[in-house]
Amino acid sequence: MSSSAWVGLGFVATAQNASPDLYASWGMKGIAPQIAYGFSTPGNDPDLGYTRALLNGAISAGLFVAGWAWCDHWQEPEHEAEYHAEVAQSLGLPMFIANMEEPYDAHGDSTNPKMWAPDAYAQAFRAAAPDMELAVTTTPRWGSSGNGLRDAGACTMPQCFTAEVPGATIPAAVDHARSWGWDISTIRPLVQVYTTNGVRPDANTYNADAAAKGVGVVPYILEQAHDDEGREMISTLQPSILRPPSGIPPEQPEPEPPSPAPDLPFKRPLYPPDAPQKGGPSAPGSDIEAVRRATSRAGYAPWPQTSKEYSNDFAHGPMERFQRDHVLAPDVKPTGWYGSASHEALRLFIIPSGPNTGQYAFDAYSQSLYRSA
């Protein structure tokens, strides 16, 4: 999957009002109309006739095409993902954006099952559409797991609609996404080009913020920028719209860690049952419960974690994801085996967002469990 594939894209909410020839003349490279709302097609285009005509017109104008859909069924993420993939494939789309927003937002609460619904959605979507480019758009301080989306090669597009929410700035959204594990090269904020109470945000501010953070932007929504002021805004935003992903994080001051870090000397390596060559499975113990609990607090496993067994599912799911993000070099394959390096990374891990922001993954109870083993 390539984050560069999204460069030059603009969103469309109402296909019948869109004008692909106009967007091509603006310097846009691609468009993405809405193709679904939950388990149905958009109410303003129930048979997708306008959408098909728009996509054909876009291709004739030399634009690439994508599609986006509103996600509304976090209790059935696999079925919703499969439906969205089916609609996208029926339209011949090579690219798709899932709009998850509030229905999939756990607000950083790992005990909320919404936290893990995006992972299930991403896994099901990738199984149904293995070669389709995938992205997700969310509110700017969205607090659910993005592990599955990143595993599926997704790009993230936080919504920086500053005329509606003044604090939803590009710097705030980018910093939040990075704190939740997104690489700078996969962050491409949506910026508002429509009016709120007759006013559009300042395009120069968007440009300056995007340049400072090293990201490109995606305008939302093109068909409401047909007036002279809207066209001028699109023209001003062109450097940011066409900016390729750099992959270079801007310099950020290191946050002050809480003090002191947990005093937890490494006790023993932990191996799952499918590692008999290492003596697996490791004997059950309270240290395993402590590690599982801390991994959950770090946002890598569902809450709660009370098992004292180091299972295959835990090792090759949450622990491998944690190792890939915080322990191993990019060219080293994670094993899920818990050794001293994994322990040190988990011992020093500071929760980046949500109700436990700034706390260490090993809370007091986890520490007591680990020490008592």
Spell out the domain ranges in the chain. 3-241, 276-372
pLDDT at 277: 94
| Distance, CA of 70 to CA of 67 (rounded, Å) | 11
Rounded to 10°, the helix 117-128/77-90 angle is 30
pLDDT at 243: 93
| Distance, CA of 314 to CA of 309 (rounded, Å) | 9
pLDDT at 84: 98
Asked if residue 103 lies in contact with residue 109, where contact means CB atoms within 8 angstroms, the answer is no
Of 337, 362, 373, residue with least CA distance to 263 = 362
Q: Against a cut of 0.85, is the pTM above it? A: no
Within the chain, which residues score under 70 in pLDDT?
1, 247-258, 329-331, 353-355
pLDDT at 109: 85
Asked if residue 61 lies in contact with residue 222, where contact means CB atoms within 8 angstroms, the answer is no
- How many Cα neighbours within 13 Å face the side chain of 75? 0
pLDDT at 324: 87
pLDDT at 110: 81
pLDDT at 323: 92
Superfamily of domain 3-241: Glycosidases (3.20.20.80)
pLDDT at 250: 58
- The helix/strand/coil state of 310 is coil
For 10-69, the pLDDT digits (tens) are 999 999 999 999 999 999 999 999 999 999 999 999 999 999 999 999 999 999 999 999
pLDDT at 303: 83
Asked if residue 155 lies in contact with residue 135, where contact means CB atoms within 8 angstroms, the answer is yes
Structure tokens at 71: 């996600």
Q: Which helix (H) or strand (E) holds 65?
A: strand 64-65
